[in-house]
Amino acid sequence: MTGATTPAFAFALPDNVDRSAAAEMAHAFAGAIQSGKDVIIDGSKVTHIGQAGLQILLTGFASARQRGSKFDITQPSDSFNAAASLAGASGLLGLS
């Protein structure tokens, strides 16, 4: 056995994380998590994120943790941080 690891799944959030973006995210995250990949999310371009987007991120975070994978959000924009804080989700998403 060589000890090779499964490559991480990288996903850049769009500037507007609305319901249609959340549906795309859910599909992408589910596939990556089911295959045992760590998920790395770039939140630097987010100008708006709604409750549906935050819910998908929270679900992805919980699912990855349950399977022993990482689910990290990198470079969250100020808008992303503000929305997560307002929803009380900053700590749950590892942003605080």
CA distance 77 to 84: 11
In a domain, 94, yes or no: no
In a domain, 4, yes or no: no
- pTM of the model as a whole: 0.89
Q: How many domains does the chain have?
A: 1
- CATH number for the domain spanning 46: value is 3.30.750.24
DSSP structure class, residue 44 = T
In a domain, 96, yes or no: no
- Bridge partner residues of 8 (DSSP): none
Over range 18-24, report the average pLDDT.
Answer: 92
In a domain, 95, yes or no: no
Q: Which domain holds residue 75?
A: 9-86
pLDDT in tens, 38-71: 999 999 999 999 999 999 999 999 999 999 999 9
In a domain, 91, yes or no: no
In a domain, 34, yes or no: yes
What residues contact residue 37 under an 8 Å CB cut-off, 6+ apart?
6, 7, 8, 9, 69
